[in-house]
């Protein structure tokens, strides 16, 4: 059973394999020579949180791979409320070939995977966002080639996205620096996992409160919304402490001349990123968004052993 819950669960070889598969699948799609790897397969999509990119990219991915996707809204499946997570997992396993869940609480994903007899994919949780991470590293690979020794700088909140970036960078031997305000750091347990993975790959990882130090000599500058979905009550407070971490032209000037700028979207323009940067020549924002489609195709094919 191949669940896709967090990038830290993968081996370096598995991560590279999925990325290479995504490259091949994307090239075939552009050449109009797609392989229907998932013909007659069905993906069940459980949504507690709405999402433009997750919903459309998984739906289209299944269609282009020859299968079908079934959308289940928050009102239809109330995990742990109307029905236990374990029972939802058992029932879904009788109907579909693979499950994707976009949830608030990461523990719900762990429970889904525990009781499922089909692969479970993390479409987002409060702990990690591995599908976004795979799309991000696919984008970096396209722009920079071999990522070993390249520097990824993340500026902003120590959240689920930065967790996946730390794990992925450490697996690939890519250096990673995160700059956050005080009290918004990555959780120590996440950092411990990152240090273990980095020790195995030779990646250099660091945390700082200084955004300029993080951005200096970076190959990739990455940011995310200052307040994630479900943190709206904290938004006003965060707007007071996060402005120094905004990616603008001044901060970008500290990175390498060929550095790319990334954001998982949706962006709050003028807050964590400025328009001249988001729409500028170094922006990779919409390549990232496109690559959700191709990275997730590779994840689905890998999880279902459909290459055979």
224 among known catalytic residues? yes
Whole-number average pLDDT of the chain: 96
Cα separation values, 91 from 34, 73, 112, 121, Å: 32, 16, 11, 16
Residue 78 has a pLDDT of 75
Report DSSP letters for the chain, one per residue: ---BS-GGGS-HHHHHHHHHHHHHHHHHHHTT----TTTT-EEEEEESS--HHHHHHHHHHHHHTT-EEEEE-TTT--BTTTB-HHHHHHHHHHH-SEEEEE-S-HHHHHHHHHH-SS-EEEEE-SS--HHHHHHHHHHHHHHHS--TT-EEEEES--SHHHHHHHHHHHHHT-EEEEE--TT-PPPHHHHHHHHHHHHHHT--EEEES-HHHHHTT-SEEEE--SS-TT-GGGHHHHHHHSGGG-B-HHHHTTS-TT-EEEE-S---BTTTB-HHHHTSTTB-HHHHHHHHHHHHHHHHHHHTTTT-
306 HSE (CA, 13 A, CB side): 25
**pLDDT tens digits, residue range 226-259?**
987 667 788 899 999 999 999 999 999 999 999 9
CATH class of 132-286: alpha beta
Query: Which residue among the candidates 97, 126, 238, 264 is catalytic per the annotation?
Result: 264
Among 218, 217, 200, CA closest to 154: 218
Instruction: Determine the Cα–Cα distance for residues 9 and 35; give it in Å rounded to an integer.
Output: 27
Q: Give the pLDDT of residue 63.
A: 98
Q: What pLDDT is stored for residue 58 in this prediction?
A: 98
Is the domain covering 7-129+289-303 a CATH 3.40.50.1370 domain?
yes
User: Are 7-129+289-303 and 132-286 in the same CATH fold?
Assistant: yes
pLDDT of residue 281: 98
102, 143, 246, 263: which one is catalytic?
Answer: 102
Tokens of 283: 């922006």
132, 282, 288, 296: the catalytic one is 132
Q: What is the pLDDT of residue 76?
A: 84
Catalytic residue among 48, 224, 282, 294: 224
What is the C-alpha separation between 47 and 197, in angstroms, rounded? 31
pLDDT digits 0-9 by tens, 155-174? 999 999 999 999 999 999 99
pLDDT at 1: 87
Report the run of H or E that residue 207 belongs to, with start and end: strand 205-208
B/e letters for 86-116, b = 16+ CB within 10 Å, e = fewer, are eebbeebbeebbbbbbbbeebebbbbbbebb
Q: Which of 48, 292, 294, 296 is catalytic?
A: 292
Catalytic status, residue 78: no
- pLDDT at residue 232 in the model: 77
131 given a catalytic annotation: no
The helix/strand/coil state of 69 is: strand
Show me where the domains of the chain are located.
Answer: 7-129+289-303, 132-286
Active site residue 282: no
Tens of pLDDT along the chain (308 residues) come to 899 999 999 999 999 999 999 999 999 999 999 999 999 999 999 999 889 999 999 999 999 999 999 999 988 887 777 889 999 999 999 999 999 999 999 999 999 999 999 999 999 999 999 999 999 999 999 999 999 999 999 999 999 999 999 999 999 999 999 999 999 999 999 999 999 999 999 999 999 999 999 999 999 999 999 987 667 788 899 999 999 999 999 999 999 999 999 999 999 999 999 999 999 999 999 999 999 999 999 999 999 999 97
Q: Give catalytic status of residue 102 as yes or no.
A: yes
What is the signed CA dihedral for 82, 75, 4, 19, rounded to 10 degrees?
180
Q: What is the pLDDT of residue 224?
A: 97
Q: Which of 129, 143, 263, 294 is catalytic?
A: 129
- CA separation for the pair 171, 274 (Å, rounded): 31
């Amino acid at each position: 059973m191949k669940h896709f819950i967090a990038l830290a669960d993968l081996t370096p070889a598995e991560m590279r394999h999925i990325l290479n598969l995504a490259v091949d699948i994307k090239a075939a799609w552009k050449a109009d020579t797609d392989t229907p790897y998932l013909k007659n397969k069905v993906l069940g999509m459980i949504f507690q949180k709405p999402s433009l990119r997750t919903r459309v990219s998984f739906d289209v991915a299944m269609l282009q791979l020859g299968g079908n996707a079934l959308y289940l809204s928050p009102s239809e499946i109330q995990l742990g409320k109307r029905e236990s997570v374990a029972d939802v997992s058992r029932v879904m396993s009788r109907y579909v070939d693979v499950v994707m869940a976009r949830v608030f609480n990461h523990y719900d994903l762990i429970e889904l995977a525990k009781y499922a007899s089909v692969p479970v994919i993390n479409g987002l949780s409060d702990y990690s966002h591995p599908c976004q991470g795979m799309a991000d590293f696919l984008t970096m690979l396209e722009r920079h080639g071999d990522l070993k020794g390249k520097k990824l700088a993340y500026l902003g909140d120590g959240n689920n996205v930065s967790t996946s970036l730390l794990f992925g960078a450490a697996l690939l031997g890519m250096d990673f620096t995160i700059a956050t305000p005080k009290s918004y750091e990555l959780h120590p347990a996440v950092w411990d996992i990152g240090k273990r993975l980095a020790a195995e790959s030779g990646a250099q990882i660091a945390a700082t409160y200084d955004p300029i130090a993080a951005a200096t000599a970076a190959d990739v500058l990455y940011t995310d919304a200052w307040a994630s979905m479900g943190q709206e009550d904290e938004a006003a407070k965060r707007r007071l402490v996060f402005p120094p971490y905004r990616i603008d032209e001044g901060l970008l000037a500290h990175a390498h001349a060929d550095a790319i700028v990334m954001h998982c979207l949706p962006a709050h323009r003028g807050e964590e990123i400025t328009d001249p940067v988001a729409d500028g020549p170094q922006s990779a924002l919409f390549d990232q968004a496109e690559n959700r489609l191709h990275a997730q195709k590779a994840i689905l094919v890998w999880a279902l052993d459909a290459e055979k």
